[in-house]
Amino acid sequence: MASQMLLSLLVFYFYSFHLARPIHCSLGSNGIDTASVSKEEFSEELLLKPLPDRKVLAHFHFTSTSPPSASNGRHHHLFPKSIAQLVKKYKIKELELSFTQGRWNYDRWGASDPLSTRNAKPPGVELWARFDVLTKEEIDTTWGNLTNSLSGLFCASINFLESSTSHSTPLWGFLPNNGDLRYGALPREAVCTENLTPWLKLLPCRDKAGIATLLDRPSIYRGHYHSQRLKLRSDRLNGIVIEQTLSAVLQPSDRTSWSMYQLFKKIITEKCALAKSSRVFVEIEGNLGSKNENILELVGEADMVVNDQNGHSTIYQYNVERYSEHEPLDIMVNWRDPLQLSFLQAPFHASRFLMGSGNERGSIAISLQSARNFTKGLYDGSNNCFTKVVVFQVVPWYVKVYYHTLRIYVDGEIRDTKDVVEKINITPSEDKVSPGTLEMMLRFPCGMISAALTLDFDKGFLHIDEYPPDANQGFDIPSALVSFPDFISSRIYPDSISSPLLHSYKGRNVVKSYTEVLLVPLTTPDFSMPYNVITFTCTVLALYFGSMINVLRRRISEEERLAKSNDKRRPGFIPLLISRITNKIRGRKEDLADQSQSSQPLLGHKVIFKVVLIAVVATLWHYFLNTS
């Protein structure tokens, strides 16, 4: 017994010695092992931009990075685990998902700056993804599984993109790829807080601390435009990088001045404790910044002021970590000059519309109007006299486009397609299998003022089960993408600012714009007819079978026995006649019991009449069905 006690004490002393040794690690202010999470980073930024029409653009930018090393295994400290699982399971190389309500106004809010080029999205849901080293069949299967996972993750109808009729495979019109890209759009998808809440759950502090606390739901969804986006890139060198952005165009209550509290009904009191950097920027466009003193006044001392090397904009930087509950951050802008100003425009303003009438055929037209106030500073420097325009358009299968009917008009004159079309790729639609895809590179003269493209189409017929609940409203054709590869939008700021948002401005962002969503009315059946037929048929069957069952289930034997007993008590014809004559002579009324018995008809007459009537009705109904 003593030896066992001694052995137990030795074992306890051994483990206590090894377990009680200090663990060499550095703990952050929140008690988190910074040595293990130093490679995972998170940053939050907000950019406020006054617009010429006195609205305000609020752009939230959150960046999360995860290292490529497998040292963390399946555990993450800052990076959202659900996204890491998606990337690993579906071998995602690049993905972008956007939820948008409203349409970006390229004329008033800008079309050639990096912010609008990167973050202006079409209405509804847009999803595209690139996969790593998979065959075509594997990509299609993986795409379907990915859409279902994203649908459950963001509480949206993204699973409708699983069908082959809802997604396409562009080659170079949308993004250059090797056939590993899938693209899909849902123009009618509604955007609400059910989509924003899971989007915020991907942030380390959610909306409880930091810049995300400004995301007041009524303020955001009351704006003229808002778009939330999730973009991720994955490779073996840099790991996984997630960009979560939310862009909203808000209308201040006072058109002469506004502040952060007036826009969001909240102010920033602290930064997210897990964020590496937390900044607020105020961007003033070049044509505004040159007259900043006379046009607007910025209230609040900025920590740093930097200018774009090309003179396009001025950035005022505010570090959130300098502010607290006693001294919150609330930036105010006062407008002095009531003049309406405008930003640099894209080389052409693109719009799309329908031509024709009726439910049989029509035409799709894309119009390009040259921007008069466009400056050629964005041009890439080539000396040729042609401007390239790339058009990417996806059309549902029930809109049967005849691509050979393509007609191109330049300044009102029709041109030969061989002289204008430099490159084209057409994927014809297949009924109930795949949509049609058009990728086309056009070459227009530099001095062109306007151009138009038209395509004829026929409207198809759908099965009654394929119509949506609101079929009479029409069917949507997703927005077309018009890009200008010769025109690059970028901003170059000093390297002293280590900002993921400003760093994304340095990239070669091709100027592009999305067109309107088209609403095509199709021939719809009378959905009330099946209800009427079912109701009438059920009524006739109920009358027929109800009466038949009533006849079959009645106890006729007992009724006949009662009738015979009544007949026995009834006097004969001659005695009854003598009795009536005697009563008439004497002036005495006939007995009510005798009168009721004498006036009672035979029992079988009603039954026979019902059976004959039902048989006649059934015969007529059968004849009517056969003849019709």
The answer on 608 and 510 residing in a single domain is no
SS (H, E, C) 188-226: CCCCCHHHHHHHHCCCCCCCCCCHHHHCCHHHHHCCCEE
| 352 domain-assigned | yes
| 48 domain-assigned | no
pLDDT in tens, 522-553: 988 888 888 888 888 888 888 888 888 877 77
pLDDT in tens, 352-365: 999 988 888 999 99
- Answer yes or no: is pLDDT of 386 > 80: yes
| 341 domain-assigned | no
Predicted TM-score of the model (pTM): 0.79
**Number of domains comprising the chain:** 2
Split at pLDDT 50, 70, 90, the class of 506 is confident
The answer on 405 and 456 residing in a single domain is yes
- Answer yes or no: is pLDDT of 230 > 90: yes
Per-residue pLDDT at 619: 82
Task: Give the mean model confidence (pLDDT) for residues 323-347.
Answer: 78
Closest-CA residue to 502 (of 249, 244, 281, 240): 281
DSSP 360: S
Split at pLDDT 50, 70, 90, the class of 110 is confident
Of 240-254, 282-296, 331-345, minimum mean pLDDT range: 282-296
Tell me if residue 514 falls in helix, strand or coil: strand
Q: How far apart are CA 465 and CA 516, in angstroms?
A: 28
- Answer yes or no: is pLDDT of 170 > 90: yes
| 338 domain-assigned | no
- Answer yes or no: is pLDDT of 29 > 70: no
Q: Which residue has the higher pLDDT, 220 or 612?
A: 220
Q: Which residue has the higher pLDDT, 592 or 144?
A: 144
Q: Residue 465's domain spans which residues?
A: 348-520
The answer on 499 and 364 residing in a single domain is yes
The answer on 566 and 508 residing in a single domain is no
Query: Mean pLDDT score of the chain, rounded to an integer?
Result: 83
Q: How far apart are CA 393 and CA 408, in angstroms?
A: 16
- Answer yes or no: is pLDDT of 459 > 90: yes
- Answer yes or no: is pLDDT of 595 > 60: no
The answer on 459 and 601 residing in a single domain is no
The answer on 436 and 502 residing in a single domain is yes
Task: Give the mean model confidence (pLDDT) for residues 96-113.
Answer: 92
Ranges 63-72, 157-166, 339-348, 613-622, most confident: 157-166
The answer on 372 and 512 residing in a single domain is yes
What CATH number is attached to the domain comprising 365? 2.60.40.740
DSSP per-residue letters across 40-89: SEEEEEEEEEE-TTS-EEEEEEEEEEE-S-STTTT--SSS-HHHHHHHHH
The answer on 501 and 383 residing in a single domain is yes
Q: Which residue has the higher pLDDT, 482 or 560?
A: 482
